[in-house]
Amino acid sequence: MSEVKLDFSKGRHRPADYVSICTTIADNYPLGIPHGAQKDAIQNAFHTANKTVPVEFTFELVKNKKGTFFTMTDSNTNGLTGKVLGTEEYETLEESDHWARFEGFGFTTSNQDAIGARGQGKFVFLAASADYSMYYDSLREDDTYRLGATRATKTDCPMLHWDEEDGRGELKELTGLEPLSKLGTRIIIVNPIKELCDEIENGNFITAIEETWFRAIEKERVKIRVKTSDYDKVAKIPKLFPIPSKDTDKIKVWIKNNDEIKLLSGERFKIKHLQIAYKKGGEIPEQFRGVTIIHNNMKITSINMEGVPLDITDNIYGFIEFDRDLDRELRKNYNQNPNHYDLIWRRAVPKAIKEYIKEELREFGYKKIGIGIDPRERRKQIRSSAEIDALRYLSKYAKDLDLFGRKGGIVKPPPPSPLPPSNKLIGIMLHNFNFPDPEIAPRINWEEEIKDFEVRIFNKTNEHLKGRLRIFMLFGDREINILHDEKNIDITPYLKPKSIGTFSIIFSKSVFPDPGEYRLKIRLINEVNNLEIDSLSKILWIEKDPEFRLPFETHPDDFTNKEGIEKRQWITTGILGEEPILYYNIMHSCYKQVEEDKELQTDYLFEIFLEGSIDFILNRPDKEDGTPDYHPLDSSKILKDPKDAYFEISGKMAEIKSKYYEEI
């Protein structure tokens, strides 16, 4: 039987929502659009660099009669070479077709030394524009000039271009800017978003550059400046660098050159430089803590020392660099995330790099700082990191499960007084803790207030205790505001939830001056032995959007000797929108199998958090008319019979797990 072939050459193009593509890609940049814009722009310049002289790069915020523009200009590069190609010509891209690659999406290069070659950076630039618009001009190595323009819309991302004098004239008409006079390329973001303008004007933008490119700056491979109408600054090496070549009175160092890692397959790769430093009491800025992984001159991520106190971990910094072969290996898309902010640690090469760094940190700690690794503290740090990653992944599918809303209709209000968690015998509870604006929670803006929340104590045992209750706010590990500190609290046997008091917090700028993540911490302490009985915490983001929203709180717990739930992996309390908490059992045999491996534990926690999400869905309050509300599950199947309910629930979980494992 002969195959029937269709001619698709005259078919219609498939529309795509490019605005959504821009925002989705930008959302995957963990440190925000401004940080991602500088990172992608400079790495693009290295891709077309003239290798004999340092790359020069200038960022400038321009305000003139034509509007507001943010320009990103490289020089000592070869420009965006090549022709403007039609769609059909992308089938046979040449290595020199830099203009076409910049305008295209997903056309990777065979150049093993190129890092900015996946085509998504331009969408971060478009997301940095309130109009989703940008211009780009280039003076190329053949001395020709070209101007391009593009704008993302709900159905398309059309492109325009003008060559030579037409381009120069059009640029002046559109922007009031002068055409390029030096070999190189310039990206012009039209009407930059407020977040980007603020970061440039307050100095955070140049700080991000110095964090990302400190090794390239130190080795004089790039010169970067940031300009506004108020200042003209050159990016400098952070004060922590260069790391001394030997120990000093204040700094202990650990240096390895030309070392190697070996994979289980027997394959070997070269570690070019490893430098680690410990500066006691050095107050190392958070962005420089740990061993920074440098790939093709650029920071990717960091690895911290595990299993030691924070006053040690927070004072360790350094970096690791690789030879060309290992740099090329890391560039492969199965080893590194497309946004260049993390490696895929499950893969053999990244995993070997991480183990090498961890082993060197352990040896450094033992030989130079005189500390051993506390396995309990190390497991705790692994758990904390895995929990955050699992919740971050779950938050991506929260809309699919509607964990933040109630799309099924109006619901009855939850009961006014929740019961104590079934897995706790003595403890504390929060009641009536409501964010000022639930739509943006856990974000809180300055001068907003959380009003009249209660802290309650309960005791299900026959034991009589004296306790101390502390309620305070943390920024990082620093206490900044104590709300309550009461001693000699009488915790009587079989005490039903008893209110200790009603509290309110006004988030004034004078008390909470730094935008970012804060924690409300509540601790109940046994006054006899000074051991913690129970604690609760709430994460708050003040004057800054969180990296991701938490659909519910999660708490590790020991279910041993807790009758009826000893073998359970997790339990939940509360309902969605009203203090939902998932407790997971860190003594369960399944958990024990993964507690030493962060990646395996992330997978495990993601799966049980997903199971807990289904439990919260099945416990949604009924609709106002009294009918059950199990959306996005099909209520008719849930109510029909156990077999139908099982297949409906397992099908939804399999769908989410499939997306998760495909993504990682």
What is the spatial distance between Cα 238 and Cα 208, in angstroms, rounded to a whole number?
Answer: 11
| Structure confidence by residue, pLDDT tens digits, 28-40 | 888 899 999 999 9
d(CA 354, CA 83): 42
What is the pLDDT at residue 407? 44
Of the ranges 59-63, 110-114, 286-290, 406-410, which is most confident?
59-63
What does the pLDDT read at residue 410?
39
Mean of pLDDT values over 634-650 = 89
Give tens-digit pLDDT for 265-279.
888 999 999 999 999
DSSP state of 308: S
Q: Residue 642 and residue 256: Cα distance in Å, rounded?
A: 61
DSSP label of 165: H
* Range among 242-251, 336-345, 493-502, 563-572 with highest mean pLDDT value: 242-251
CA gap 35, 121 in Å, rounded: 12
Q: Is the omega angle on the peptide bond into residue 242 within 30 degrees of 0, that is, cis?
A: yes
Select from 302, 304, 256, 311 the least CA-distant residue to 283. Answer: 311
Report yes or no on whether pTM surpasses 0.75.
Answer: no
Select the highest-mean-pLDDT range: 25-29, 213-217, 623-627.
213-217
Q: What three-state secondary structure class fits 475?
A: strand
- Position 130: which residue type? A
Degrees to nearest 5, angle at CA 22 with 154 and 436: 95
Write down the domain spans for the chain: 18-233, 251-372, 374-404+552-664, 414-548
Burial class (CB in 10 A: 0-12, 13-18, 19+), 110: exposed
Question: 132-141, 374-383, 457-466, 467-476: which has the minimum mean pLDDT?
Answer: 374-383
Provide the pLDDT for residue 360: 94
Q: What pLDDT does 414 receive?
A: 43
pLDDT at position 119 is: 63
Q: Is 564 left (phi over 0), alpha (psi -120 to 50) or beta?
A: left
> Which amino acid, one-letter code, is at 300?
I
Average confidence (pLDDT) over 510-534: 86
The burial class, CB within 10 Å (0-12 / 13-18 / 19+), for 356 is: buried
Q: What is the DSSP letter of 90?
A: G
Confidence (pLDDT) at 176: 95
Q: Are 539 and 491 in contact (CB under 8 A)?
A: no
* Angstrom distance (rounded) from CA 664 to CA 397: 14
User: How many CB atoms neighbour CB 111 within 10 A?
Assistant: 12
Average pLDDT over residues 18-25: 91
Q: Residue 86 pairs with which residues in a beta bridge?
A: none
Four-CA torsion 195, 196, 199, 204, nearest 10 degrees:
120
How many helices (H) does the chain have, and how many strands (E)?
17, 24
Q: Average pLDDT of the chain?
A: 87
Q: Is 160 helix (H, G, I), strand (E, B) or coil?
A: strand
Instruction: Quote the tokens at residue 157.
Output: 């991302």
Task: Give per-residue pLDDT as tens, 489-519.
Answer: 888 887 888 888 889 999 998 889 888 888 8
Neighbour-count burial of 41, counting CB atoms closer than 10 A to its CB (0-12 exposed, 13-18 middle, 19+ buried): buried
Nearest one of 168, 150, 208, 190 to 31, comparing CA atoms? 208
List Cβ neighbours of 196 (8 Å cut-off, separation of 6 or more).
33, 34, 37, 70, 128, 189, 205
CATH entry 3.40.50.300 includes domain 414-548: no
- Rounded CA-CA distance 602/616 in Å is 21
3-class SS of residue 571: strand
List the beta bridge partners of residue 163.
Answer: 146
How high is the pLDDT of residue 579? 75
Nearest-angstrom CA–CA distance, 134 and 132: 7
Q: What is the pLDDT of residue 236?
A: 96
CATH number 3.30.56 given to 251-372: no
Give, for 150, the enclosing helix (H) or strand (E). strand 145-151
CA–CA separation, 483 and 481 (whole Å): 6
Six-digit token pair at 20?
């959504």
Residue 185: closest CA among 92, 47, 375, 35: 47
Tell me how far the alpha carbon of residue 141 is from its chain's centroid.
38
> Which of the 8 DSSP states describes residue 495?
E
User: Cα–chain-centroid distance for residue 106?
Assistant: 23
Confidence of residue 110 (pLDDT cuts 50, 70, 90): low
pLDDT of residue 28: 85
CATH hierarchy code of domain 18-233:
3.30.565
Return the pLDDT at 2: 58
